[in-house]
Homo-oligomer: A and B are copies of this chain.
């Protein structure tokens, strides 16, 4: 069965990258089309809803992949909440370093421009965030956290990592991720 053209896929990947680096408003459709090498004429065939529809798909995909990463890490660190958090922080630090401190978070960048203006997109962003927090909370609970503390700690982990990306990009330094790992594992129960 023929899979749908890769024009869609390439446009989505390029848009995600540019949204993470430049944000939503600063990224023009022209730039997305040019850099993705995808054809210009059929953009509105693939994305009838235009730039917002593309952003919606980017958000969903980015959210799902983030959740998958978390679950993958959780499986590798069964029962050890401290190790899990450290691994998660290091994953963020690695990506940041490898990208030359250029990659931000789609949720943060798009949310910072659209949150109060575009309810539908904001709901999607909230879902992405919620998915990550849930996945972390599930694992923390499996590691011995009480339900309420697990959810609370999970949300703080995500908040800290989100903010850490801003710090790391602006300071061009990834030590903040180590700091978070240290502080947020200080109270974890022994595995």
Chain A contact residues, CB within 8 Å of chain B: 21-26, 100-102, 104-105, 107-109, 111-113, 115-117, 122, 125-126, 129-130, 152-153, 155-156, 158-164, 166-167, 169-172, 176, 179-180, 182-184, 186-187
Contacts and interface: CB of A to CB of B under 8 A. Distances in A.
A7 to B, nearest CB: 18
B171 A130 contact: yes
15 contacts: A22-B117, A23-B24, A23-B109, A23-B113, A25-B25, A102-B115, A111-B169, A115-B169, A116-B169, A122-B172, A158-B167, A159-B179, A162-B167, A163-B163, A183-B184
Instruction: Say whether chain A's binding surface is mostly helix, strand, loop, or mixed.
Output: helix
Contacts of A172: 122, 126
B102 A116 contact: yes
Please provide the 4 A-B residue pairs with the shortest distance between their CB atoms, ordered closest to farther.
A162-B163, A163-B163, A25-B26, A159-B163
Given A163-B160, A167-B162, A113 B26 contact: yes
Contact of A166 (B25, B111, B153, B184): B111
